[in-house]
Structures are given as C-alpha cells and as structure tokens.
Amino acid sequence: MQNKIPNVVALYRKDFTITYAIQAVVIALVFSGGVFYADPAIAPVVLAVALPVALVGLVVFAVRYNTVISTLRDGVTVKGIVEGFDHHVTKEKDDWNRVKSKRYSYYVNVRYVVNGETYKKQIRMPNSGSVYNIHDKQEVELMYKESSPQKVLIKNVYFSRF
C-alpha cells in the first residue's frame, strides 16, 4: 500500500521550515492590515517592510514544500541507524526569576550509507522519538532525492498520524 502524501496542515505540524515560513507570511499580512486599519497614514511605510517579509516567507514555503513533497513522492528510501537523541530545554523566566515556560527541541542522530558513502546527520523532530516509534540503535527508513543524498527526511515522521 502506498503511503498518503501529507497535506499542508500536516506539514505545518511536522516541518519547522514550513511552519516558520507560513507564520512569517501570516504575521506580516495581518500586521500590515492592522496598521492600515488603525492608521492609514503610515500604512505605506509598514507595507514597504511587511510585503517583502511576506514575499520571502512565501518563496521559502514554496521551495521547502516542493522539496519535501517531491522527496516523499519520488525519493529513494534507505535504511539508517539511530545513533542517539539530543534534546534541548529552553526556559523562559519571569521578573522574579521563576520559570514561566519551557520549550523542548528534539533531535535524532542517524547514520546511513548511500552508494558506499557513509553520512551522519542530526535531524530536528517536532516531538520526541518515542512519538514516532523511533528508538536508539534501531533501524529507521530515511528518504532522499538522488541529487542530494545528504538531505534526508525520516519517513516515520512524515507518514505518521501525529
């Protein structure tokens, strides 16, 4: 059975580049619309900044979306070995030095071989490895384009339901 290619909403949740690009477009356009509504006199100045930001976000989104979708649709699958996980905790503190919030970043380190050449890659994931059934020293399926074997995607992340 062929895996179903994820839609934009699923990619928004799983790919940080797509997430940040969409956020840049939306924030720039909403901000410029809000300024235009609040004070039309300064709207041209704000538009001069907001439209290029939105355009750059749109270009980044289009390139990344095309890359991910073409890799998932036409890419080559290779087996890789998980060589460990890294996670970073970023704590935001309030004025009284109490922890207000924590943000977690999860990374998986993989090693794989393409055409006799060994690659090692650290890949940022949207959640911990256990969410995607990825464990240390386990074999995982990676996908890459033939033109760029150093850029891989973890198949479990993009084709999982989370």
Ordered mean pLDDT values, 10 residues apiece, the chain (162 residues): 83 96 97 92 92 97 97 95 94 91 94 96 93 94 95 93 76
Both tokens assigned to 66? 């095309």
Nearest Cα to 152, choosing from 115, 119, 107, 117?
119
User: What CATH number is given for 76-159 in this structure?
Assistant: 2.40.50
pLDDT, residue 2, reads 63
Cα–Cα distance measured from residue 24 to residue 54, given in angstroms and rounded to the nearest whole number = 6
pLDDT, residue 1, reads 42
pLDDT, residue 71, reads 96
Global pTM value: 0.87
Cα–Cα distance measured from residue 119 to residue 151, given in angstroms and rounded to the nearest whole number = 10
Cα dist from 85 to 17, 18, 89, 117, whole Å = 21, 23, 13, 23
Nearest Cα to 6, choosing from 112, 137, 156?
156
- φ/ψ of 39, rounded to 5, equals -150, 90
